[in-house]
A and B are shown apart, each in its own frame.
Chain A
Amino acid sequence: MTSLRLCHKCFIVLSNTRTKQYQLIKICGKVLQNNPRSCQNSIATQSSRFNSTSTADSPNAHTTIDQDEHHKFTKLASHWWDEKGEFYALHSMNRLRIPLIRDAFVDASDKESKIFPLKDKLILDVGSGGGIIAEPLARLGATVTGIDMVEENVRIAQTHISQDPEISGHVNYIHGAVEDLPEEGKFDAVVASEVVEHVSDVDMFISSCCKLIKPGGYFFLTTLNKTYASYLLAVLGAEHLLRIVPPGTHDWNKFIPPEDLQLSLEQNGMTVRLLHGMCYNPVINRWSWISNTDINYAMYAVKSTQSIHSHDTIEQTDY
């Protein structure tokens, strides 16, 4: 049941979803957040927030960004590029997700020979963090926009890419929320890797991302399934037992089953092309494709050229 209530100051309707958390809703074309106090501040921060010298410590009042997640990642920001550090499993995941993105654009025959298979492609990396995905994509020729809710991440990503003149001109990092991006239908692809499980309203997040994709463009997602297995392995196992990722990185309640994600994508005019499970071996620090999607999975969808919803069957190739 969804209950509605009003914020006294702003007279804006706020919704309370099934997760008992106040969520964001869209009114009059503007996105506003649940928390009445944030609403109060929103007018005041709006002007300062978009200042280029912004030091605003109350970020992103009107987004799907989750405050707790924001604090969590601010603390971790300095570790993004330490390949032995907190994010090493994420670095290693590039071995699967970069080829996934690359191969969606390139014919199988050219795959081996093209130096810049993603030349002239505009790609949006949502939740870009330190730029772990943005940099490889830029090396493959793409022009990448990275957007992240954590200002510190953007700073780290920016400093890191500045040491590589080969790609530093091809990546632009933005501090903000995907909801605020106005470039509808601009991107050849949107990538949201390991992001969906951190946002507060998945449906809205998906719809915001889908709007930005060109007709015929792609939406790549990797995330965690909401199963008992994922709780045992990804939360208890990886965070508490093996400490592959810092404890508290994931909130199981926010994990999402692939069917829900697919539904949400289809409601936004996307057709899911591929769904694969991903399996991590912590001993050799390597990811591999599997057919089981109970824990980690990757999905990609293509935006219909017309605005008709099609229901193609999902391809599930065995690797």
Chain B
Amino acid sequence: MSCKLVRKSFCCLKQARHCNISYNVFRTLQTNTDANKDTVDIVISGGGMVGTTLACALGKEGLLHGKKIVLLESASEKKFDLPSEYSNRTCALSPATVKLLSGLGVWDEILQMRCQPVKRMQVWDSCSDSMITFNNDDLNDNLAYIVENDVILEAVKRSFPKSHNLNIKYNTSAKSYIIPGITPGHDGLDQNSWVTVQLNDGSEIKTKLLIGADGMNSTVRKACEFHTLRSDYGQSGLVATLKLTGDTENNVAWQRFLPTGPVAMLPLSNTDSCLIWTTTTENAKHLKQLSEDSFIDAVNDAFWHDRDMNSLAISAGGILNGVLNNILPGGASYSRQLPPTVVGIADNSRAAFPLGLLHSSSYAGHRVALIGDAAHRIHPLAGQGVNLGFGDVACLRDLLVEAVKNGTDLGSLALLAEYETQRQRSVLPVVGVIDGLQRLYSNNFTPIVMLRSLGLQTVNSLHFLKNIIIKQAST
């Protein structure tokens, strides 16, 4: 260190003598004296699906090859073998997500393991006959793919670039963060100081950019003191892996709105489907404890029963149908399909988790960005949650690559503000619509039931509107 300084000053002197003019030269001082302190460009806190995918995406960018990227994953590195039984935690990946994953080579890995395409979607109301169906016109394009979370994570890990600029630290989690300007006693906004991450092993990492991918209970978000909007629906999601009758083609996603919340059945294979049943917390607890046979009956009942039917809404729907048949060319014809019958469930596949809305009013702060559930967590009723997270990944990756091209500091506030603006523009409408739908359908008050049935029926007959919805949902 001192050698370097002496050498540098000597050089300066020599130059000065040579030029016959001396300068007030300020030498470059390396302040990075603490050996225990690593300096890196990007730290991603949280090795879930979204965080891991971002690490993979950044590691694969040629322009980011010189940048040091660290991924903190609290779990240990495990060898993954594809189990014969399907997992109960799944995602419906939208075409936009598939496009992102294809670009990273992750999609090929998923295809080599397993996934199931969704060609058609049928959503109906338990209080009336109204329903809506979605499918891309020729049934060739898939609406979505149902993939197990474990499979996605493994596929991303298998696609990790071999480059050594990407450092995955297993069994490591952040203990605390020092964010200048927020953490008490650390004011450094004037100097745009870096963020320090203190790890559970006692070491510290200084980073230009900290990315919080640490889920709904994000510690990064808490360290930033971002205002967070929460709404507890008093609901839980019950998941299970279902066994179906017969070996027929299973490529329809079914969803029925019950007054207690939507129940959905998503295809995993021709004989398996995944159940996502949103219901009151008590009911979820009760359903979880039922015997296997009673549970199977309860699931079939949820898709088939007509106890909640509202006669007024049904007759209004009938009249509307007559009107629509007269005004629309070709009539408001729709084909109602019947959901498959459940005959069994996979052992120990029942699990329940609390649901709610969570939205951080900021996605970015001083050298910090939030992605995935750390920034926004929505109701699973449209299966959009993880897709929004993958949208964050694509957006942040593109902006970081652009920043490298322009020599911009990767933690620049302008860059992160741009990320926040772009993402909130995409996420907020989805959050609003999903929250609205959730409230609209957890209700059996007759006027509301009538209005929503008529609305749903009308939308179902207007093909151009449905195409817009499909397009929106797939980007």
Contacts and interface: CB of A to CB of B under 8 A. Distances in A.
Contacts of B140: none
Interface in A196-213: none
A267 interface: no
A45 to B, nearest CB: 12
Contacts of B19: 182-183
Contacts of A242: none
A180 B408 contact: no
A83 B413 contact: yes
A172 B31 contact: no
Contact of A135 (B20, B24, B29, B407): B407
A162 B28 contact: yes
Residue of A98, A162, A169 with most partner-chain B CB within 10 A = A162
B24 A175 contact: yes
Interface string B159-199: 00000000000000000000000000000011111100000
A161 interface: yes
Contact of B193 (A163, A172, A180): A163
A50 B15 CA distance: 13
Interface residues of B, number: 38
A318 interface: no
A113 B65 CA distance: 11
A280 interface: no
Given A115-B63, A158-B29, A175-B24, A95 B190 contact: no
Contacts of A254: none
Interface string A63-102: 0000000000000001111111100000110110011001
A49 B21 CA distance: 11
Given A50-B24, A172-B28, A112 B191 contact: no
B31 A79 contact: no
Contacts of A135: 407, 409
A183 to B, nearest CB: 8
B21 A180 contact: yes
A91 B414 contact: yes
Contact of B66 (A78, A102, A115, A180): A115
A174 B21 CA distance: 13
A154 B26 contact: yes
Contact of B191 (A81, A102, A169, A172): A81
A162 B190 contact: no
A95 B399 CA distance: 12
A102 B26 contact: no
Interface in B5-29: 9, 16, 19-26, 28-29
Contacts of A168: 28, 30
A81 B30 contact: no
B24 to A, nearest CB: 4
Contacts of B206: 163
A314 to B, nearest CB: 25
Contacts of B414: 83, 91-92, 95, 285
Interface in A114-141: 115, 135-140
B407 A81 contact: no
B410 to A, nearest CB: 9
B310 interface: no
B412 A91 contact: yes
A160 interface: yes
B407 A137 contact: yes
A51 interface: yes
- Give chain B's interface secondary structure class: loop
Given A98-B406, A135-B409, A165-B32, A159 B24 contact: no
Nearest to A80: B190
Given A50-B22, A54-B24, A175-B23, A83 B412 contact: yes
B28 A158 contact: yes
Contacts, number: 117
A99 B408 CA distance: 11
B307 interface: no
A99 B407 CA distance: 9
A139 B400 CA distance: 14
A40 B374 CA distance: 65
A174 B30 contact: no
A255 B66 CA distance: 41
Contact of A51 (B24, B62, B192, B408): B24
Interface string A155-189: 11011111111101101111110001011000000
Residue of B16, B22, B29 with most partner-chain A CB within 10 A = B22
Contacts of A80: 190
A53 B115 CA distance: 69
Nearest to B194: A163
Given A50-B23, A174-B24, A180-B21, A83 B192 contact: yes
Contacts of A162: 28-31
B144 to A, nearest CB: 32
A172 B405 contact: no
B194 A175 contact: no
Nearest to B62: A113
Contacts of B409: 135-136, 139, 164
B444 interface: no
Contact of B21 (A50, A83, A99, A138): A50
B407 A155 contact: no
A151 interface: yes
A50 to B, nearest CB: 4
A113 B62 CA distance: 8
A138 B405 contact: no
Interface string B205-245: 01010000000000000000000000000000000000000
A182 B24 contact: no
B74 to A, nearest CB: 28
A122 to B, nearest CB: 14
Given A115-B66, A163-B193, A163-B194, A176 B23 contact: yes
A163 B22 contact: no
Residue of B24, B28, B62, B408 with most partner-chain A CB within 10 A = B24
B24 A151 contact: yes
Contacts of A83: 192, 412-414
A300 to B, nearest CB: 17
Contacts of B31: 162-163
11 contacts: A85-B190, A91-B412, A92-B414, A95-B414, A98-B408, A111-B405, A115-B62, A115-B404, A140-B407, A160-B192, A174-B23
Query: What are the 3 tightest A-B residue pairs by CB atom distance, in nearest-first order?
Result: A136-B407, A139-B407, A81-B192
Given A81-B191, A162-B30, 15 more contacts: A95-B406, A102-B407, A113-B62, A113-B63, A139-B409, A151-B24, A158-B29, A160-B191, A162-B31, A163-B194, A172-B26, A173-B26, A175-B24, A175-B26, A285-B414
